Amino acid sequence: MSDLYKKIKADVIVAMKSGEKERVKALRLMTSAMKQIEVDERIELDDARIIAILDKMIKQRRESISQFKTAGRDDLITQESYEIDIIQEYLPQALSEEEVDDIVKQAIEKTSAASIKDMGKVMGLVRPQIIGRADMGEVSGRIKAILSAT
Q: Tell me, what's the pLDDT at 34?
A: 96
For the stretch 77-116, pLDDT in tens is 999 999 999 999 999 888 888 999 899 999 999 999 888 8
Average pLDDT over residues 20-44: 96
**List of residues 6+ apart from 122 with CB closer than 8 A:** 104, 107, 108, 111, 113, 143, 147
The highest-level CATH class for domain 97-149 is: mainly alpha
Full DSSP string of 5-55: HHHHHHHHHHHHHTT-HHHHHHHHHHHHHHHHHHHHHT----HHHHHHHHH
Q: Provide the residue ranges of all domains of the chain, joining segments of one domain with +.
A: 3-88, 97-149
For 3-88, CATH number out of 3.40.50.2000, 3.40.718.10, 3.50.50.100, 1.10.1510.10 equals: 1.10.1510.10
pTM of the model: 0.80
